[in-house]
Structures are given as C-alpha cells and as structure tokens.
C-alpha cells in the first residue's frame, strides 16, 4: 500500500491528536508486518519542505520499516495529469501525483489523512474511471482509521445483513 505524506506527517504532528494516535497504531501494525508500505519520489519532494527537525524525525520513523521507494516514472506523471478534473482539481498536482504513482506501481490502496482532496468519494470514483480508461487497476483511497476498521468507509455500501 502507498502512503502519502500526510500519514508520515501525523507520526509527529500534534495538531490532530486523534490522527496522531491512529497513525501510531497503524505504524505499529506496519512494524509487525501487517502492511507492506510504498512511498514515491513525490513523498520525498514534499518532505523537503518540512522543517529540518520534523523531517529528521519522520526519516527516523521511516527507517523503522522496510519501505519500498517508488522512483520517478513518466507514465505516473502522465496519469496524474489525466486525473485533473475527473478525480480532483488542477491545483492538487501533488495529490494527483501520489494517486498516479500508487496506481502505476500497482498499489491497491493509497492511505492518506487528506480528506479535502484524496480520501473522498469523488476521488475514488474519478480514479476508477480514469484508471479503467487507461487500463490500470482500481485503487481505493482511505484513511489509516478506515484501513484498520476503526472507521467506516462512507461511500461503500453496507453489505452486512441483519
């Protein structure tokens, strides 16, 4: 599964204690081997913009896991442009790039705390359409809480029976 920068950010961020606590539980499960993690060149580009101390702390935490690095990929960059308008807006270039890198490299899940642009029905539906048209597999964008079953995925139908 692919992690965007928001998940790494919440390993040490205190602005949203609920996100931070959930991210730490998620991280422990990653350390236990429950999830195989991927990040891309986009992640490292975004981390460069973080304050030095925070960047160092995130890199130390990343070193705790065996993380697969996804290098620059021209097909991913092309796919990111195709998400514009369909899955999210033109201004969300790096969000579209995260989604495209995850897709092109075959990740089935993108995990994010970005509810404004990534973790939402429009993005999931738009990505499904664009991926189908461009012969890529479907991908789902969810939060760590959704992944671990701590929170429902609001746009998926309830399949439970009473």
- Rounded to an integer, the average pLDDT of 70-74 is 98
Q: Where are the domains of the chain?
A: 2-147
- Residue 15 CA neighbour count, 13 Å, CB half: 5
Phi, psi of 111 (to 5 degrees): -105, 130
Q: What's the confidence (pLDDT) of residue 14?
A: 84
pLDDT exceeds 50 at position 161: no
Burial of 136 from C-beta contacts in 10 A (0-12 / 13-18 / 19+): middle
pLDDT exceeds 50 at position 43: yes
- What residue spans of 32-151 are helical by DSSP H? 41-47, 52-62, 74-83, 93-104, 121-133, 144-147
Q: What's the confidence (pLDDT) of residue 156?
A: 58
- Rounded to an integer, the average pLDDT of 31-53 is 96
Integer Cα distance of 124 and 111 in angstroms: 12
Q: What's the confidence (pLDDT) of residue 154?
A: 74
- Rounded to an integer, the average pLDDT of 37-54 is 96
- Residues ≥6 apart with Cβ < 8 Å to 97: 40, 42, 76, 77, 80
- Rounded to an integer, the average pLDDT of 3-22 is 94
- Residues ≥6 apart with Cβ < 8 Å to 57: 11, 12
Q: What number does CATH give the domain 2-147? A: 3.40.50.1010
Q: What's the confidence (pLDDT) of residue 155?
A: 64
Integer Cα distance of 109 and 114 in angstroms: 14
């Amino acid at each position: 599964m692919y992690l965007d920068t928001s998940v790494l950010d919440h390993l040490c961020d205190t602005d949203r204690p609920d996100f931070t606590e959930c991210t730490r539980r998620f991280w422990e499960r990653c350390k236990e081997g429950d999830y195989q993690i991927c990040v891309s060149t986009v992640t490292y580009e975004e981390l460069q913009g973080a304050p030095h101390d925070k960047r160092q702390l995130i890199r130390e935490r990343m070193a705790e896991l065996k993380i697969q690095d996804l290098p620059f990929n021209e097909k991913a960059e092309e796919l990111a442009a195709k998400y514009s308008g369909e899955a999210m807006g033109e201004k969300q270039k790096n969000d579209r790039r995260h989604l495209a890198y995850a897709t092109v490299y075959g990740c089935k899940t993108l995990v994010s705390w970005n509810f404004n642009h990534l973790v939402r029905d429009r993005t999931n539906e738009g990505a499904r359409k664009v991926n189908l048209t461009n012969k890529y597999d479907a991908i789902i964008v969810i939060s760590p809480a959704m992944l671990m079953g701590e929170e429902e995925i609001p746009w998926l139908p309830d399949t439970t029976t009473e």
